[in-house]
Structure 1
Amino acid sequence: MPTYEHIGDFEMPVERVWQWYDSPGAFRRIMPEWEGISPIQAGALKNGEETKFKVSIGPIKQQWIARHHDVVDGEVFHDRMVKGPFGAWDHEHRFLPVDGTSSKIHDTVQWKLPFHMLTWWTAPFTVKGRMDQMFAYRTQRVQSDLSRIAMFDHMPRQKVLVSGSTGLIGMQLCAFLAAAGHDVTRLVRPTTRLPPDASNDSVVVWDDVKGTVIDGDLNGFDTVIHLAGAGIGDKRWNKKRKELIETSRTVPTRNLATLLANLNQPPKTFLSGSAIGFYGNRGDEVLDEASEGGDNFLAGTVRRWEESAQPAVDAGIRTAWMRTGIVVTPMGGALKKLLLPANLGAGGPVGGGKQYYSWVSLDDQIYAIHHLMMTPKCEGRFNLTAPNPLTQKQFAKAMGKVMRRPAFAPLPGFVLKILLGEMAQSLVLDGQRVLPNRLVESGYSFQHDHLEACLRQCLGKQKLTR
């Protein structure tokens, strides 16, 4: 069988790297964003434990079951595919100390395709490139996670409650917090369906409309992170949809803040979701946290959303609002919707392309939330956006370069308005040039300052040396 090898270098002791891999959040964190993998079960690093997930092979999703064997704690583990798309797959992860502060992982994979006679001559273009990108991504993700965790080694781990934990950001946030050693509980509604790999996680059940706890206790958490709200780009806007967009943010936020304010053991910190839609449509005006709000529908919604957290502030709970920009990941949000037209060569300027897109990588979204959580001086409004916002035309050009597709075919704004109605104006044709001044001043350093590097990592298009 062919053998694939990769060596990843880590500026961390081997014990820390092994500990990260053996954490409950590691499996979801390590899956490449572009692969469309759906975790089902994350097995511990013990003999006989199984990891299960669904993976996209072309347009088809297939289940992959891997069983761990020959595990030596702190040194090596193997996983062998017992069901999946390959004819065979046996993967050795060997953890090698370099010195007291650095280490390596030597990955060795023996594999073959279902039709074994095709394995050798098709390997260079069917498997090798994909594996090169996957292991490069894994190495970067593990190293960056470990570095962010180490920044707060001097502080105790926290007991954290997260609402909106099944959303795009919430799922990755919970996985990272678990990998960092925090004790994570999910705040869910009775109708919430947890992802399969989180089905055994601790939960508190509440009615977010009535503001009542149904099962569990809100007392005793160090930090509560609130990520609530119906998707603003999921459906065409009408009066009913706009009302839902607002009430799904303001009502749960007010109810949760009020509950926290009246606890016997309230949290020290309340991090409440928000959005850069607060600033409205501002052209090329440079905006930061001190800038005035806008006057359109989204600006008014965000203003009332932030005001809904006031009971927590009045109770003396350190409160921070996270004004999030366009989160860049192929797993969801704006980028996922842009990929198909971009692949077809239709990712050019939209409505002239002069409107600013203030974006943030999924990594920076997660790390910035963790930074706010662990930094006691951080309270008030924070823009969670990269320090280099781009016009829509520049954004499209960067995507075209990374994906090797033309990015010049324009899409007139009136066409979008016909297709999407009012939503097109607010979400696509309007823009804000937002800077994360307060976040940077608080000591946060960005993982991705520039869009091209962000896209290359999350889309599996990195320029590799090997």
Structure 2
Amino acid sequence: MARHRFEYASQLPVSAAHAFAWHDRPGAFDRLNPPWDPVTVVQRSDGIRDGAQVTIRVPVGPFGVRWHLEHRGWIEGRVFEDVQRSGPFRHWHHVHAFEPVADDACRLVDQIDFTPPLGPLLVPMTRSKLERLFPYRHRVTAGDLAAHARFADRPRLTVGISGASGLLGDALVHYLSTGGHRVKRLVRRPARHDAEIAWSVDGGLADPAALAGVDAIVHLAGENIAGGRWTDDRKKRIRDSRVDGTRALAESLARSATPPAGLIVASAVGYYGDRGAETLTETSASGDNFLAAVCRAWEEAAAPAREAGIRVVHARFGVILSPRGGALPKMLAPARLGVSAQVGSGEQFVSWIGLDDAVTALGFALLNPAIEGVVNLTAPTPVTNRDFARTLAKTLKRPALGRLPAVVARAALGEMADELLLASARVEPAALTQAGYDFRDPDLATALAHMLGRPLPPAPA
């Protein structure tokens, strides 16, 4: 049976040794997992040295196929290979080569020899998938490496993360670990090993001594605000999970004999309320609705840590975009059918940020001691809901027909529709921009194309 070859190459902004080391660290596979068609890791051994193995489950329609791969051909700083031991292909041999170009640049070459299960019939489909996958993988690799290289002269950190199993927390774990940092997950059960720290919303840290050696905490845990209609009970859980949890954690840090130097606490642009087309920065006043009140109390709850001399950052997130979770998957299904994501008039502003920028900006704040207080984690180009719907449709090459009337949204979701879908917040990331942060995906069209595996739009002239 004939073997076919696919090759993709690009230049990376670091040495071959640094690029190779990034791939050899925990989390690299997870960073490169395509969000529009993710595989599930069933089992794996550490690293990419000869004999290391990984078993993944590849989605095939409503089913899945197990794919067992083994690493071979490991030459430090230069090359490693993946060879199929069992799985969907008759033959699969993937060479990852790192060719030096300069002291601060190298060429990454991915070369795959493959034979599909049905021979020539599946070659076009296989090539099409690879042609979507590898530009994405190389772009993520280059973006992560460039961001880490900016702080290459700083010591690597030990970072505790709450909410580490969520969309943002999981991505942050892998982003930091591939950058050489050590991550400890804050878990709401007894810690099972040294990479976990037990805590609870009511009591904070179970053992403050577990903070020894921890440089910073990123607190992301909180009840899903879009997890169901806002009954009085759900609103209480939304508030208490954020306010009580943050206060308990901040008090634990303040009491610790070995507190971390920094605490980043998640917040949201819901702080600003419904503000129409007004341009909002970190110094803008708070709004007067439910989410604004929650965000105010949420941020105030970190006061014990700040008063203890810990650097506190309030990360006011916009809508975090990823097909893996959050708001975007709810829009994708109708958008693929040509149904518009527009809600109501469509004139309300959406302040958004791509998942890659969300984790990179958090890493930037962790390593930049000058950043303190409120920071808007939003892209520099907020868009109206109407333009968001049109851009999504264009990315998917679909029409954007119809809209969801405000009255229907309110009937289905009640108060949540007014605050999450119909409220307008035109937020700008003034603090990040002033600190010199370089956005990976500053415009919506590029961000959506990247995360959905579509061709990137032309760069602005």
**TM-score normalised by structure 1 residue count:** 0.94
- C-alpha separation between the residues in 1 aligned to 2:309 and 2:387? 43
1:6 to 2, 5, 8: 8
- C-alpha separation between the residues in 1 aligned to 2:286 and 2:438? 26
Q: Secondary structure at the match of 1:35?
A: coil
Of stretches 148-157 and 215-224 in structure 1, the one that deviates more from structure 2 is 215-224
Residue 94 of structure 2 aligns with which residue?
A: 91
1:171-250 matches, cutoff 5 A: 171-190=170-189, 202-213=195-206, 217-250=210-243
Distance 1:316 1:215, change over 3 A: closer
Q: Which structure 1 segments of 5+ residues have no match?
A: 193-198
Residue 167 of structure 1 aligns with which residue?
A: 166
- Residues 200-239 of structure 1 show CA distances to partners (whole Å, capped at 9, x for unaligned) of 7710112232224169712331111110101111212111
- C-alpha separation between the residues in 2 aligned to 1:234 and 1:58? 26
2:437 to 426, 441, 444: 444
The answer as to whether partners of 2:445 and 2:457 remain within 8 angstroms in 1 is: no
1:382-421 matches, cutoff 5 A: 382-421=375-414
The answer as to whether partners of 1:324 and 1:384 remain within 8 angstroms in 2 is: yes
- C-alpha separation between the residues in 1 aligned to 2:412 and 2:190? 32
Residue 314 of structure 1 aligns with which residue?
A: 307
The letter for the 2-side match of 1:123 is V
Q: Secondary structure at the match of 2:271?
A: helix
The letter for the 1-side match of 2:306 is V
Q: Secondary structure at the match of 1:251?
A: helix
Shift of 1:84: 2.8
The answer as to whether partners of 2:315 and 2:374 remain within 8 angstroms in 1 is: yes
1:293-442 matches, cutoff 5 A: 293-442=286-435
- Residues 99-122 of structure 1 show CA distances to partners (whole Å, capped at 9, x for unaligned) of 322211222212222223xxx244
Shift of 1:278: 0.4
- C-alpha separation between the residues in 2 aligned to 1:31 and 1:444? 25
- C-alpha separation between the residues in 2 aligned to 1:352 and 1:112? 51
- C-alpha separation between the residues in 1 aligned to 2:454 and 2:209? 45
Q: Which structure 2 segments of 5+ residues have no match?
A: none
Residue 129 of structure 1 aligns with which residue?
A: 128
| Sequence identity (%) | 38
Residue 69 of structure 2 aligns with which residue?
A: 66
Shift of 1:69: 1.6
- C-alpha separation between the residues in 1 aligned to 2:190 and 2:232? 25
Residue 39 of structure 1 aligns with which residue?
A: 41
The answer as to whether partners of 1:284 and 1:355 remain within 8 angstroms in 2 is: yes
Shift of 1:357: 0.4
1:52 to 41, 50, 55: 55
Q: Secondary structure at the match of 2:333?
A: helix
Shift of 1:3: 1.3
2:115 to 112, 115, 136: 112
1:263-282 matches, cutoff 5 A: 263-282=256-275
Residue 276 of structure 2 aligns with which residue?
A: 283
Of stretches 349-358 and 183-192 in structure 1, the one that deviates more from structure 2 is 183-192
The answer as to whether partners of 1:207 and 1:214 remain within 8 angstroms in 2 is: no
Residue 102 of structure 1 aligns with which residue?
A: 105
- C-alpha separation between the residues in 1 aligned to 2:392 and 2:23? 32
Q: Secondary structure at the match of 1:34?
A: coil
Q: Secondary structure at the match of 2:284?
A: coil
RMSD over aligned Cα, in angstroms?
A: 1.8
Q: Secondary structure at the match of 1:36?
A: coil
Q: Secondary structure at the match of 2:206?
A: strand
- C-alpha separation between the residues in 1 aligned to 2:81 and 2:93? 7
Distance 1:110 1:331, change over 3 A: same
Q: Secondary structure at the match of 1:204?
A: strand
Distance 1:245 1:464, change over 3 A: closer
Shift of 1:59: 2.5
The letter for the 2-side match of 1:27 is F
The letter for the 2-side match of 1:137 is Y
Residue 195 of structure 1 aligns with which residue?
A: none
The answer as to whether partners of 2:331 and 2:341 remain within 8 angstroms in 1 is: no
The answer as to whether partners of 1:186 and 1:201 remain within 8 angstroms in 2 is: no
